[in-house]
Chains A and B, each alone.
Chain A
Amino acid sequence: MINKKVMKIFRHELASKRKSPSLWLLFIMIQLLLAVALYTGWQQFQHSVKTQTAAQTLVEQQWQAQPDRHPHRVAHFGHFAFRPPSALSFFDLGVNAWVGDSIFLEAHKQNSANFANDQDGGTLLRFSELSSANILLTIWPLLIIGLGFASISGEQKSGTLRQLMSMGVSFRTLIVGKSLSYLFLSVLFILPVFIFSLVLATNAGAAFSSEGVIRLLLLFGVYLLYCLFWIGLTLLISSYVKEPKQALVLLTSIWFILTILMPRMLAEFAHNQYPHQKRNDFELTVKLDNRKVGNSHNPDDPYFNQFRADTLKKYGVDSIEELPINYKGLVMQEGEKLNAQIHNKHYNKQLAQFSAQQQFIRQFYWLNPYLFVRDFSMALTRTDAKHFLDFEQQAEAHRYARIQKLNKLHTHEIHLHNDRDQKVHKSYWQEFKPFHYQAPNLNWSLNPFSWLWLLPLCVVVLMFITLNSKVMQRRIYATV
């Protein structure tokens, strides 16, 4: 398939692009932009790692330095969970600007992550941040369009296509040659950013593992596929539309629809179709449900009366004073359990709505590979909503375990009589494990894409098959 003629076309195309000063200028400018984006991303990443680690260490120290205290006091003292940035987040910032980095973990209450970096987001982040990934996703396609919109239509218009054909260069050869040259340029263009990312990532310390290399390779692969999509589309439009100017306008319109208009419309539509609850609504539902089952702070609650009867029966005694353990601690445990169950029930409903929204958008991966590459890239760099929600869930699991451990101390180390005035020894605080966010592995990250990656791939393959098809050839030959 790749013969001498193809190579000649390939070299000729490269040579002609090399002569264009404006292309050089754009090429260099966007490289600079990428460098700036990568650099600031890296700075932000390091700053974030530093802040989060320092804050986590601080709260762990604060926890351990506590004096003798009543366990329930400690439960209200609470703890913090901080979200360390993922190792490759300097490449793709994903949803990071929109989500908080820290969660306060306390008794009876599931807080959400706070302190996001989205000030003036409604004005400044209309196109998301200038991250390397975002530049590759939105701006690089424009350059591919600029490189190739006239490749067939231009040759056709200037009459060189006829000459080439008469010299025995088949249309197929032309297409393959030109595609190869644009692919070569794309690789040349995106390779530096990936090499630098790899260098930076190896300096990211503990956050980076051997899996990170695979993630970077996959990233490179998926962006290359994205380049191929735009190369294919550009050549396809350039072959169909005879006027280069028309081809350019059509291609930029398609670019605008695919990368800017459609993602927004789909996201808004999905939100309307599968609405999640606003914070106030969510808190109200949880509160009302909590009221229905019982209030652990209220000693005459019907649910807890039943619980008391069951407990007395289990231990074979007549009153809570006779219990070998502290009944109040048991009530705390039971209350926390109920509360967590109710919260999780509603939280899972929210999650289900989020994933329904995402599911809706996924249906369009085949039509709009931008969506696919954007989401795939965020999944690979662990910066998508799914990874953030995973942090929230890990923090909640940690909160629950920590509070229940305190409630067990309350049950076994504090006596019922004069409960409030007792304290447990401070050595107990050393027995609590610090919070460590477990970054999910590659398999988990890519789980939602099980076979969905096949669709955009098929689209790209199909485009090149169309370009090389007999029909296309006949069409071109007929018009030359």
Chain B
Amino acid sequence: MLLFKLECMRLFSGKINKLVLILFVISGVFAIYQGAQGYKNIRIDQYKSKIVFQKEREHVTQRESLPEAGSLAYYASAPTKWQLSPWAALFVGESQSSMVATKIRATALQSQIFNRETVNPSQQRTGGLDLGFVLVYLLPLVIGIMTVTLISDEQHAGRWRLLNALPKSAFSQVCKQIALRFAVIWLLVLSLLVSAALLLSLPFDAAFWVVLLATSVYMLFWFSAAGLIMSFGKSSVVNSLAYLSSWVLFAMLIPGAVHLYLSSQFHSEAPLKMSLEQRMVLNNGWDQDQNKQAILDEFLQHEPHWQDTAPLGDAFEWKWYYAQQHMSDLAVHDLWLSFVENHQARYQQLQNLSLLSPALFFQLQLNQLANTSSRDHAEYQQQIVDYHKEIRHFFYDYLFFDKSISKDDIDNFILFAPSDKTQRKSDTLTIWHFAMGTFVIFVIMMFAVTRLKQLSPT
């Protein structure tokens, strides 16, 4: 017990140790606070979009005469919602730079789906500070500063020989010191997570334990790395530099290189091509007065449910308008599919490459857990596509069968319902990766331990 107290005192007596721990806690608290603010803004955005739509709907139904269905469909921009986990406050991923409440209407889809959130690009370039950042990038440095010079400091102070002469080996002494550091840092992480959970009223469910477990394993990796570096018995300075270099490699260089690689391999011009092509298709449609019926016929082949519609007259008709809007979507459908495929392939590659760096892997897992990864965003986009179809079909009855739209119909307008996160095939893959990663970390740890045991008292 006395020894334990002594070790604690030694741990907290160093100015640098204290400074680093305080810095860690401050950044953690700051990140949680900022994350809570950002998440609140997202929720407000989503809620407000819903309310605005309701108000507009009431505004329409309170009018004495309803506008015709075509004009109604033109102005009915219905809200959608990217269903984030509340953990998105802590692991923001793409949620701050993408639209979380895209509005969608029955006109051409592809000109609506690529809308971007307004961001201050300077802020984005800086990189953001969420709890994920603190855990993935700051935590390893805290571990490094507190452990990597343990043995070399003892050697330097001349105590290492002394410790080795004791009945209890110096090794067990070092193990105790490392364990103490692990415990202190782990408790800090735990208290950050618990206070975040309380502040954001996150449930203490599976996700919480997964985050805690993953963080613990991640900590184990960096402790093992520190152990491995120490086992070479070099001076404090060499140890510190080696540890710092490995941090720079895993945290900055590998992710940077992966980004360079992915953007050169998976550069997709599809969105630009789509918007250029769709515009031409739409506008050529307007020029072909004689061809209007042909466009409608082609449309009806794709949507046979409405094929009994009356032929077009000479005047402007909304049904032709929406038919050709949809045809313009179909004209670029192949490009859209290639865009989606390109993204999937890119993400698959990212998952594979993330195994190169524990930091990158951990970061990716945290984002996936919070539903904020680009894969989740792609799924949200797919949900928008599906919802767009529902909206179209809702209006088609009125447009093609000349059914008159009633106030009740408007009240029954289908609203966007985010689908629950489905169990993905890749989730099992993730568990696989995780298990494999844990195993590798375990091997590194055992290796470090054996080497440390053999470290002779020079």
A binds B: yes
For residue A112, which residues in chain B have a CB less than 8 angstroms away from its CB? Answer: 116, 118
Residue A69 is within 8 A (CB to CB) of chain B in the complex: yes
Q: Does B195 contact A (CB under 8 A)?
A: no
User: B237 contacts A150, CB within 8 Å?
Assistant: yes
Task: Identify the closest chain B residue to A279 (Cβ).
Answer: B118
List of A residues within 8 angstroms of B149 by Cβ? 245
> Number of B residues whose C-beta is below 8 Å from A?
89
- Given A248-B240, A280-B101, verify A77-B279 contact (CB < 8 Å): yes
Which stretch (B1-9, B41-49, B175-183, B221-229) binds chain A?
A: B41-49
Shortest beta-carbon distance from A352 to chain B in Å: 12
Q: A104-B275, A146-B241, A250-B16 are in contact. Are A123 and B125 (CB under 8 A)?
A: no
Binds B, one of A92-100, A219-227, A229-237, A458-466: A92-100
* A-contact 0/1 string along B27-41, CB 8 Å cutoff: 100100010010001
- Contact partners of B343 in chain A: CB under 8 A: 119
A119 contacts B276, C-beta separation under 8 Å: no
Contact assessment for B93 and A122 in the assembled complex, using a CB-CB cutoff below 8 Å: yes
Q: Is the CB of B49 within 8 A of A280?
A: yes
Bin chain A's interface residue count. Answer: 35 or more
CA distance A248 to B245 in the complex (A): 13
Residue of A33, A73, A104, A127 near B127 (CB, 8 A) is A127
> Given the complex of chains A and B, what is the CA–CA distance between A126 and B367 in angstroms?
13
Residues of B with C-beta under 8 A to A256: 141
Is A358's beta carbon under 8 Å from chain B?
Answer: yes
Chain A residue numbers with a CB within 8 Å of B116 are 100, 112-114, 116, 279
A265-273, A318-326, A403-411 - the one binding chain B? A265-273
Task: Looking at the assembled complex, report how far the CB atom of A478 sits from the nearest CB atom of chain B, in whole angstroms.
Answer: 21
Check if A117 sits within 8 Å of B121, measured CB to CB: no
Q: Does A204 reach chain B (CB closer than 8 Å)?
A: no
A114-B114 contact given A123-B367, A264-B126, CB 8 Å threshold: yes
- A354 pairs with B259, CB closer than 8 A: no
Of A55-63, A160-168, A183-191, the one touching chain B? A55-63
A385 at the interface (CB under 8 A from B): yes
> Could you tell me the distance between the alpha carbons of A360 and B36 in the complex, rounded to whole angstroms?
22
| In the assembled complex, A212 has its CB within 8 A of some CB on chain B | no
Identify whether the interface residues of B are mostly helix, strand, loop, or mixed: helix
Taking a contact as CB atoms under 8 Å apart, the answer to whether B128 and A264 are in contact is yes
Q: Does A401 lie at the interface of the complex (its beta carbon under 8 Å from any beta carbon of B)?
A: no
Judge whether B118 and A123 touch: CB under 8 Å.
no
Q: Which residues of B have CB within 8 Å of A67? A: 287
A69-B287, A123-B364 are known contacts. Are A357 and B256 too (CB-CB below 8 A)?
Answer: no
Q: Which residue of B lies closest to A125 (CB)?
A: B259
A163 to B435, CA, bound (A): 58
Q: Which label, helix, strand, loop or mixed, suits the secondary structure of the A interface?
A: helix
Indicate with 1 or 0, residue by residue over B330-360, a CB within 8 angstroms of chain A CB atoms: 0000000000000100110010000000001
Asked if A263 is at the interface of the complex by the 8 Å CB criterion, the answer is yes
For window 51-81 of chain A, which residues contact chain B by CB distance below 8 Å? 51, 55, 58-59, 62, 67, 69, 73, 76-78, 80
Is the beta-carbon distance between A268 and B237 smaller than 8 angstroms?
A: no
Taking CB atoms and an 8 Å cut-off, the chain A residues in 110-146 that contact chain B are 112-130, 138-139, 142, 146
Q: Closest CB-CB distance, A46 to chain B, in whole Å? A: 12
Interface of chain A residues 347 through 376 with chain B (CB within 8 A):
350, 354, 357-358, 361, 375
The digit string for A237-262, where 1 denotes a CB below 8 A from any CB of B, is 00000001110111011001100110
Closest CB of chain A to B152's CB: distance in Å?
8
Closest A residue to B99 by CB, please name it: A279
B153 closest partner in A (C-beta): A245
CB closest chain-B residue, reference A245: B236
Name the B residues within 8 Å of A40 (CB-CB). Answer: 260, 264
In the assembled complex, the Cα of A267 lies from the Cα of B275 at a distance in Å of: 33
Beta-carbon contacts of B93-114 to A below 8 Å, as 1s and 0s?
Answer: 1111101010100000000001
Residue pair A51, B269 in contact (C-beta under 8 Å): yes
Residues of B within 8 A of A80 (CB): 276
User: In the complex the two chains form, is B124's CB within 8 Å of A253's CB?
Assistant: no
Contact between A122 and B97, CB atoms less than 8 A apart: yes
Q: How far is the CA of A252 from the CA of B97 in the complex (A)?
A: 31
A2 within 8 A of B: no
Residue of B nearest to A40 (CB): B260
Q: Are B45 and A130 in contact (CB under 8 A)?
A: no
Residue A206 at the chain B interface, CB threshold 8 Å? no
| Bound Cα distance from A281 to B279, whole angstroms | 27
Say whether A278 contacts B125, CB under 8 Å.
no
**Per-residue B-contact encoding for A25-38, CB less than 8 Å = 1, 0 else:** 01000000100100
Residue of A nearest to B35 (CB): A268
Asked whether A129 lies within 8 Å of B259 as measured between CB atoms, the reply is yes
Residues from chain B with Cβ under 8 Å of A385 in the complex:
120-122
Contacts of A271 in B (CB 8 A): 120, 123
Q: Within 8 Å of chain A (Cβ to Cβ): is B255?
A: yes
Distance of A246 Cα from B269 Cα, bound (Å): 51
As a 0/1 sequence over residues 373 to 399 of chain A, the CB contacts with chain B under 8 angstroms (1 = contact) are 001000000001100100000000000
Are A121 and B124 in contact (CB-based, < 8 A)?
yes
Task: Decide if A432 is an interface residue (CB 8 Å cutoff).
Answer: no
Query: B276 near A130 (CB under 8 angstroms)?
Result: no
A47→B45 contact, CB < 8 A: no
| A272 close to B255 (CB less than 8 A) | no
Contact of B280 among A62, A245, A278 (CB under 8 A): A62
Give chain A residues whose Cβ lies under 8 Å from the Cβ of B27.
261, 265
In this assembly, does A43 line the interface, its C-beta being within 8 Å of a C-beta of chain B?
A: yes
B429 at the interface (CB under 8 A from A): no
Query: A281: shortest Cβ distance to chain B, in Å?
Result: 7
Q: Are B124 and A59 in contact (CB under 8 A)?
A: no
Q: Hey, which chain A residues are within 8 Å of B280, CB to CB?
A: 62
Please, what's the 1-or-0 string for B3-25, where 1 marks a CB less than 8 Å from any CB in chain A? 00000000000001001100100
Chain A residues whose CB sits within 8 angstroms of the CB of B259 once the complex forms: 120, 124-125, 129-130
Query: Which of B16, B19, B23, B125 has the most chain A CB atoms inside 10 A of its CB?
Result: B125
A125 vs B350: C-alpha distance when bound (angstroms): 13
Q: Which residues of B contact A (CB under 8 A)?
A: 16, 19-20, 23, 27, 30, 34, 37, 41, 45, 48-49, 52, 92-97, 99, 101, 103, 114-129, 133, 136-138, 141, 145, 149, 153, 156, 235-237, 240-241, 244-245, 248, 251-253, 255-260, 262-264, 267, 269, 271-272, 275-276, 279-280, 283, 286-287, 343, 346-347, 350, 360, 363-364, 367, 372-374
Q: Could you write out 13 A-B pairs with CB less than 8 Å apart?
A: A36-B260, A77-B279, A99-B121, A102-B275, A122-B97, A122-B374, A245-B236, A249-B145, A267-B123, A278-B117, A284-B48, A358-B122, A384-B122
Question: In the complex, given contacts A40-B264, A100-B116, what are 12 additional A-B residue pairs having Cβ atoms less than 8 angstroms apart?
Answer: A44-B264, A94-B125, A115-B272, A119-B263, A122-B372, A125-B127, A142-B244, A265-B30, A268-B129, A272-B37, A275-B41, A278-B118
5 A-B pairs with the lowest CB-CB distances in the bound complex, closest first: A130-B256, A95-B121, A264-B129, A122-B93, A124-B259
